[in-house]
Amino acid sequence: MTDEPYLDKPPSKPQIEACWIAIEPYSIGANTYVGEFTHVGQNTTIGKFCSISNLCTIGAQKHNIAALTSFPFMEVLKNMPVLNTIIGSDVWIGCNSVIMAGVTVGHGAVIGAGAVVTKDVPPYAIAVGNPARVLKYRFSQDLIGLLLETAWWDLPADTIRSLPIRDPLACVAIIRGMDKQKSA
């Protein structure tokens, strides 16, 4: 039993609030929630344990403003491919954020409220602003490497519940210990 109530009974399917919109194809990982009035564009992949706030746009397409009209006639008529947008696992996306199509947001990243993300965001970076820029990282580069190595989000829910989640370095040590036990 942890003091984190959402881990006591994790949902097996993504938690989707009312009034969100998604365009096929898309995928949303387990234990991820998407807030109200959020738009998930086609060819978007969202990882596990993500926290996506209200009023976000993920996978926003560009419009050609140099043409006769900004309406995407060519894209619609010619069935042009849509860029893939990838949101890693354990990503927090703040309210009113826009993530453009073709962008990859790395595992563990945080996108500040109101950010407009036009370029890839590295793992565990905190990106803010319009256009979004990396303000800082959640952890040291050494710890980021260790966390990425563990891919903790792929562990069984019972295992994650047992981890001291407020101490990432201790979590890494425990997960590494479990890996050593498996290989012994």
Domains in the chain (CATH in brackets) are 5-138 (2.160.10.10), 139-184 (no CATH)
Question: Which is higher by pLDDT, 2 or 99?
Answer: 99
Q: Is the pLDDT of residue 28 over 90?
A: yes
pLDDT of 116 above 90: yes
Quote the pTM value.
0.85
Query: 11 preceded by cis ω (within 30°)?
Result: no
Q: 115 phi and psi, to 5 degrees?
A: -70, 150
The yes-or-no answer on residue 63 being catalytic is yes
Q: Could you give the angle at the alpha carbon of 99 between the alpha carbons of 127 and 101, nearest 5°?
A: 135
d(CA 39, CA 19): 9
Distance CA(35)–CA(117), nearest Å, equals: 18
Q: What is the pLDDT of residues 38-95, one digit of tens each?
A: 999 889 999 999 999 999 999 988 888 888 888 877 766 666 677 899 999 999 999 9
Instruction: Give alpha helix (H) positions in the chain.
Output: 5-8, 73-77, 141-150, 157-162, 168-183
Please give the pLDDT value at position 109: 98
Q: Which of 62, 63, 133, 136 is catalytic?
A: 63
